Amino acid sequence: MLFLQILIDGFAISSLYALGATGFTLIFGVSGVLNLSHGAIMVSAAVAAWAASGILNLNTYAGAMVGVATALVAALATYFVVVLPIQKSRRIPTEEKEIFVLTATLLWGIMLQELIAYFFTNNAKTVLPIVDGVVEILGVRTPRNEIFTAAVCCIVIGLLWLLVNKTKTGKAVLAASMNPRGVTLLGLELNNIYIAVWVIYGVLAGIAGVLLGMFLGVSSYSVGPLTASAFSIVVLGGLGSVSGSLIAAFVVGYLETFTAYMISPAYRSIPALLLLVAVMYIRPQGLLGRR
């Protein structure tokens, strides 16, 4: 019975991690940006959805849409306000721009975190679930919202795969991740591709943030752990590898769930971090990384 509970809960949390990490690694794979404001953007989505439903009295669906829209705006602001000015700056040496972007996104994330804490306090916020009730699976009572969360994550990841592999825009994004210079030689505007990728990322982070708010709840204190989890998953899977991130998300999700049930929730992140350290020594490029 306990094994089945771990299996069900682990799948739900792993699906959430996979959705969040997919956007994170897509940004790096295409534009080379490690966005350390990732956790803040996810929390912004969840808090916005909570505020829309709890304060503005919008229905659950409308609140969720507000949350996703908030993450999209935050993602585009990250690109246009933080990342792009650094990338276009002539005062910063080219070889130093990557570390400047890394630091800037980290500081931007801290600013968003403090704004959330200032306007909405540090108390945990739980978004009203779209699906209520409990269902029994082979004797294990599981909230319907947990199943809904896993299903939505899998569907969105599937739609992302179709977008990348079956549409013109997606194929341009894929080509940009492999050979940016070749894309420009084909007459495609690289800046437009980058904007499209940040839009996709904002939507993915928004959906993941809202679902996380419904599933576990969030607060401003969640920003750091969420960014750290996404970063760990992306490094473990291989920087720039979406497939690797998906595999790593399920490894980390199940490790955390097993630890929480068998040892203590307080230590749930430790095994995944130890695994990350081991992988960095044995296979620095990650599970499926190319660089």
Instruction: Give the residue-averaged pLDDT of 15-25.
Output: 89
Q: Residue 94 corresponds to which tokens in the numbers above?
A: 């080219």
Residue 143's pLDDT is 86
- What is residue 265's DSSP assignment? G
Instruction: Extract long-range pairs of 102-109: CB within 8 Å, 24+ residues apart.
Output: 102/34, 102/36, 105/33, 105/34, 105/35, 105/36, 105/37, 105/78, 106/36, 106/37, 108/37, 108/40, 108/78, 108/81, 108/82, 109/36, 109/37, 109/38, 109/39, 109/40, 109/41, 109/223, 109/227
CA 146 to centroid of chain Cα atoms: 18
What lies within 8 Å, CB to CB, of 268 at 6+ separation is 256, 257, 259, 260
Confidence label for 181 from pLDDT (cuts 50, 70 and 90): low
Between helices 38-54 and 2-31, what is the axis angle to 10°? 120
10 Å Cβ neighbour count for 143? 18
166-182: b (≥16 Cβ within 10 Å) or e: eeeebebbbbbbeebee
* Max mean pLDDT range (10-24, 58-72, 157-171, 246-260): 58-72
Q: With a threshold of 0.85, does the pTM exceed it?
A: yes
What lies within 8 Å, CB to CB, of 15 at 6+ separation is 149, 150, 153, 154, 157, 249, 253
In three-state secondary structure terms, 263 is coil
Between helices 144-166 and 190-215, what is the axis angle to 10°? 170
Residue 208's pLDDT is 94
Residue 273's pLDDT is 79
The DSSP code sequence of 40-96 is HHHHHHHHHHHHHHHTS---HHHHHHHHHHHHHHHHHHIIIIIIHHHHH-SSS-GGG
Q: What is the pLDDT of residues 75-88, one digit of tens each?
A: 999 999 999 999 88
Q: Are 186 and 195 in contact (CB under 8 A)?
A: no
Q: Is the pLDDT of residue 107 over 80?
A: yes
Q: Is the pLDDT of residue 118 over 80?
A: yes
> ∠ CA(280), CA(286), CA(287), 5° rounding?
130
d(CA 183, CA 173): 9
Q: Are 278 and 43 in contact (CB under 8 A)?
A: no
Residue 185's pLDDT is 61
Residue 184's pLDDT is 67
- What is residue 130's DSSP assignment? S
181 vs 117: which has the higher pLDDT: 117
Q: What is the pLDDT of residues 133-146, one digit of tens each?
A: 888 877 778 888 88
Q: Residue 20 corresponds to which tokens in the numbers above?
A: 């969040």
Q: Is the pLDDT of residue 291 over 60?
A: no
CATH of 2-282, one of 1.10.3470, 3.40.50, 3.40.1000, 1.20.120: 1.10.3470
